[in-house]
Amino acid sequence: MTVYKAFKNFTAVLTALAVILAAGTVFGIGYKVYHDRQESSYTLSKLGSSGDEVKSIQRKLNSLGYYKGSIDGIYGTETKKAVTSFQRNCGITADGICGSQTLLYLGLGGSSSGNNTSYSSSDVQLLAKVISAEARGESYEGQVAVGAVILNRVKHPSFPDSLSGVIYQKGAFSCVNDSNWYAEVADSAKRAAVDAINGWDPSGGAIYYFNASKTNDAFMHSRPVVKVIGNHKFCK
């Protein structure tokens, strides 16, 4: 092997290592605050199923405003209807069957909760998706602040205790029902999601935010403002 070829191969190795390290920065490889979670112990639930898993599904759907029936552990027509409505709102296959994807979106058996400081790679991707849709065009600080508000809600007793639960709570984020939800996720939003999960909170501990020029909601305008970043007012 010539000196030139040896140098060329060595350069290729260094380039590959650089790519791996860069990927770690973007997707959180090596970050202690989130990691791939253990596989869910939950199984597929559908019409006719019964048991504790169904009760958990009913409780979660009830907390999100989709299910108003009894928490009886019986997967009947009302439970199927609630699951279908939730799936449709999330933009996933609306078949009324609560499989692994639906469980993940519900924050059951694989997603993070307010009692656990670790987040899965799916959580990070979901948070980045919301940040990209909600804060497109905002400064980087403003994007991190939107992510921080969502994480603050996970910890707050007035909101669902999982990331997916907060994001898909009925009426919470209009972006899940508009075209921005299906747009490509911005690279800055991916970085902002990691920074928010790692503890950066430019919002000052806010649990609400709104664009004053785009909403007349009396409740939002009544909240005490703790920070203004770009077009968003952040409130408690």
* CA-to-CA separations, 90 to 59, 159, 167, 204, in angstroms, rounded: 18, 18, 9, 29
Rounded Cα gap, residues 63 and 66, in angstroms: 8
Shared domain for 125 and 89, answered yes or no, is no
Check which CATH number belongs to the domain holding 180 and give it.
Answer: 1.10.10.2520
- 144 plus 214 within the same structural domain: yes
- Are 223 and 192 contained in the same domain? yes
Q: Are residues 74 and 140 in the same domain?
A: no
Give the whole-angstrom CA distance, residue 7 versus residue 133.
Answer: 45
Q: What is the pLDDT of residues 138-182, one digit of tens each?
A: 999 999 999 999 999 999 988 888 888 888 887 788 788 777 788
Same domain, 102 and 187: no
Does any domain span residue 28? no
According to the model, what pLDDT value does residue 141 have?
95
**What's the predicted TM-score (pTM) here?**
0.58
Instruction: Assess whether 128 and 219 both reside in one domain.
Output: yes
> Do the domain assignments include residue 43?
no
- Tell me what percent of the residues of the chain surpass a pLDDT of 70: 77
Over residues 14-25, the mean pLDDT reads 43
pLDDT at 28 over 70: no
Return d(Cα 196, Cα 226) in angstroms, integer.
18
**Higher pLDDT residue, 170 or 232?**
232
Stretch among 31-35, 195-199, 205-209 having the lowest mean pLDDT: 31-35
Contact (Cβ atoms closer than 8 angstroms) between residue 166 and residue 204: no
168 near 105, Cβ under 8 Å? yes
Whether residue 22 is contained in a domain is answered as no
1 pLDDT more than 60? no
Q: Are strands 208-211 and 225-229 parallel, antiparallel or unpaired?
A: unpaired
Based on the fold, state whether residues 200 and 155 are members of the same structural domain: yes
Q: With 80 as the cut, is the pLDDT of residue 73 above it?
A: yes
**Is residue 126 domain-shared with residue 228, that is, in the same domain?**
yes
Answer yes or no: is 14 within a domain: no
Secondary structure (DSSP) of 129-175: HHHHHHSTTS-HHHHHHHHHHHHHHHHSTTS-SBHHHHHTSTTT-GG
The C-alpha atoms of residue 223 and residue 6 are separated, in whole angstroms, by: 65
Q: Tokens in use for 203?
A: 């919002």
- Do 200 and 98 share a structural domain? no
Number of domains making up the chain: 2
Is 12 among the domain residues? no
Domain boundary among 106, 141, 172: 106
Tokens of 167: 């994001």
- The whole-chain average pLDDT of the chain stands at 80
pLDDT at 95: 94
Contact (Cβ atoms closer than 8 angstroms) between residue 230 and residue 142: yes
What the block records as the tokens of 20 is 């791996």
Q: Which of 65, 80, 106 is the last residue of a domain?
A: 106
Q: What backbone torsions phi and psi does residue 42 show, to the nearest 5 degrees?
A: -75, 150
183: left (phi over 0), alpha (psi -120 to 50) or beta: beta
Torsional sign, CA 157, 160, 166, 171: negative
Say if 62 falls within a structural domain. Answer: yes
Which structural domain range is residue 69 located in? 52-106
Taking the CA atoms of residue 25, residue 26, residue 30 and residue 31 in that order, the dihedral angle to the nearest 10 degrees is 100
Q: What's the CATH code of the domain at 96?
A: 1.10.101.10
Q: How far apart are CA 28 and CA 163, in angstroms?
A: 17
**Per-residue pLDDT at 109:** 55
Which pLDDT tens digit goes with each residue over 39-54?
344 568 999 999 999 9
- Is the same domain home to 130 and 215? yes
**Residues 154 and 229 both lie in one domain:** yes
Same domain for 66 and 133: no
pLDDT tens digits along 79-129 = 999 999 988 877 778 999 998 878 877 767 544 444 445 778 888 999 999
Residue given tokens 């996970």 in the structure block: 154
Q: How far is CA 118 from CA 56, 68, 111, 201, 231, in A?
A: 21, 31, 9, 17, 31
In a domain, 2, yes or no: no
Instruction: Tell whether 57 is covered by a domain.
Output: yes
